[in-house]
Amino acid sequence: MAARTNPIPSVWARQQREPDQPSLSRASIVREAITMLDADGTEALSMRKLATRLNAGATSLYRHVATKDELMELAVDEVFGEMALPPADSPDWRAAATEAAEAFRTTALRHPWLSSVLGQAGLAYLGPNLASYGERLTAFFAAVGFPEPVRAIDTLISYVVGMSTTEAAWLTTVARSGESEADFIARLMPAAQQASADYAHLADAYAAAAALTDPAEVRNAKFAYGLEVVLDGLALRLPR
């Protein structure tokens, strides 16, 4: 197709309406912000860097987004759109609830900045995805037969948020070190054992942890254990 390499100014050379990005839009901004956040964390996202990624001037973003905080809220809501939820009429409610909890966890770990943003902004202003998420979750717990579905949800979500938050923070620290999780643990071990030298139970716990091999598996098991605990407690609230 290309016969010449020299750019000859002509009507043909001037590409007609083929912008590098389909211009700027709130959706594209949020999308790119999320990929940047996923890659390098909260503090690596600046309006200027985001803008250059979008082939735009720094302040152009403010035509579509009022403020950086608002952008964060939009990103959070966007991520809530990713979280799968079981249908309200699932036959096995425990399996379904487990699925929902695990889906939350995996998205929270895929976007490790989520937890810290939640801790700062909270969920006061609910965007469309968050609203839909809450609705479906409530419908599910109500259908299961919980007399106080909202209470049950708050309990379960609190557990999942708490566990995912610490886990995400941990994984972030690991990622910043540039090492693999196992290597990082190995390097951390001496310090931890020395710090817990005077504490019998802690030392035991660290010794036991040192024996384990696959850290990811350990985290999975920890999450599963707590989840079972919470579900057991909830099951007692089911009528009959």
Partner DNA sequence: CCGTCGATGCGAACACTGTACGCATGGCGG
Partner DNA sequence: CCGCCATGCGTACAGTGTTCGCATCGACGG
Question: Applying CB under 7 A, which residues contact DNA?
Answer: 17, 23-24, 45-49, 51, 55-60, 62-64, 67-69
Q: Interacting stretch for a second copy, rule CB under 8 A, among 22-30, 54-62, 94-102, 191-199?
A: 191-199
User: How far is residue 106's CA from residue 164's CA, in Å, rounded to a whole number?
Assistant: 9
The b-or-e profile of 176-202 (16+ CB within 10 A means b, else e) is eeeeebeebbeeeeeebeeebeeeeee
Kindly give, in sequence order, each residue whose CB lies less than 8 Å from that of residue 45, ignoring residues fewer than 6 positions away.
33, 36, 37
For position 215 contacting a second copy by CB under 8 A, the verdict is no
Which residue among 26, 53, 170, 215 contacts a second copy (CB under 8 A)?
Answer: 170
User: How near is the Cβ of 13 to a second copy at its closest, in Å?
Assistant: 48
Q: Does 218 bind a second copy (CB under 8 A)?
A: no
How many of the chain's residues bind a second copy (CB under 8 A)? 63
Stretch that binds a second copy, among 2-10, 24-32, 45-53, 113-121 (CB under 8 A): 113-121
- Are residues 140 and 86 in contact, defined by beta-carbon separation less than 8 angstroms? yes
In the complex, the smallest distance separating the C-beta of residue 19 from a second copy, rounded to whole angstroms, is 34
Residue 151 C-beta: closest distance to DNA, Å: 36
Residues in 38-97 at the binding interface with a second copy, rule: CB under 8 A: 42
Cβ 155 to a second copy, closest distance in Å?
A: 4
